[in-house]
Chains A and B, each alone.
Chain A
Amino acid sequence: DQQVKQNSPSLSVQEGRISILNCDYTNSMFDYFLWYKKYPAEGPTFLISISSIKDKNEDGRFTVFLNKSAKHLSLHIVPSQPGDSAVYFCAAARPGGSQGNLIFGKGTKLSVKP
Chain B
Amino acid sequence: DSGVTQTPKHLITATGQRVTLRCSPRSGDLSVYWYQQSLDQGLQFLIQYYNGEERAKGNILERFSAQQFPDLHSELNLSSLELGDSALYFCASSVGAHPTPEAFFGQGTRLTVV
In the assembled complex, B45 has its CB within 8 A of some CB on chain A:
yes
**Which residues from chain A contact B101 at a C-beta distance below 8 Å?**
34, 46, 49
Q: Is the CB of A44 within 8 A of B90?
A: yes
Q: Is the CB of A42 within 8 A of B55?
A: no
**Which residues from chain B contact A106 at a C-beta distance below 8 Å?**
40-42
> A101 to B48, alpha carbons, bound, how many Å?
8
**With A34-B101, A43-B2 in contact, is A89–B43 under 8 Å at CB?**
yes
Tell me how many residue pairs across A and B have CB atoms closer than 8 Å. 67
Q: Give the residue name and chain of the A residue nearest to B46 (CB).
A: A101
In the assembled complex, B103 has its CB within 8 A of some CB on chain A:
yes
Q: Is the CB of B42 within 8 A of A43?
A: no
In the assembled complex, A98 has its CB within 8 A of some CB on chain B:
yes
Give the residues from 61 to 111 in chain A that come closer than 8 angstroms, CB to CB, to chain B. Answer: 89, 91, 93, 97-107
Task: Tell which of B2, B44, B99, B107 has the most Cβ of chain A within 10 Å.
Answer: B99
Q: Is the CB of B99 within 8 A of A43?
A: no
Give the residues from 4 to 59 in chain B that come closer than 8 angstroms, CB to CB, to chain A. Answer: 4, 33, 35, 40-45, 48, 55-58
**With A93-B99, A99-B56 in contact, is A46–B43 under 8 Å at CB?**
no
- A contact residues, total (Cβ < 8 Å): 27
Q: Is the CB of B56 within 8 A of A101?
A: yes
How near does chain B come to A57, taking the closest CB pair, in angstroms? 11
How near does chain B come to A5, taking the closest CB pair, in angstroms? 9
**Which residues from chain B contact A34 at a C-beta distance below 8 Å?**
101
Q: Is the CB of B103 within 8 A of A102?
A: yes
**Which residues from chain A contact B106 at a C-beta distance below 8 Å?**
43
- Which residues from chain A sit less than 8 Å from chain B, CB to CB? 4, 6, 9, 32, 34, 36, 41-46, 49, 89, 91, 93, 97-107
A-B contact pairs, 23 of them (CB 8 A): A4-B42, A32-B100, A34-B101, A36-B105, A43-B4, A44-B105, A46-B101, A49-B100, A91-B43, A93-B98, A98-B48, A98-B57, A99-B56, A100-B56, A100-B97, A100-B98, A101-B48, A101-B98, A102-B45, A104-B43, A106-B41, A106-B42, A107-B42
Q: Contacts A43-B92, A93-B99, A101-B48 given; 12 further ones with Cβ under 8 A?
A: A4-B42, A43-B108, A44-B43, A45-B2, A89-B43, A98-B55, A101-B45, A101-B58, A102-B45, A102-B99, A104-B44, A106-B42
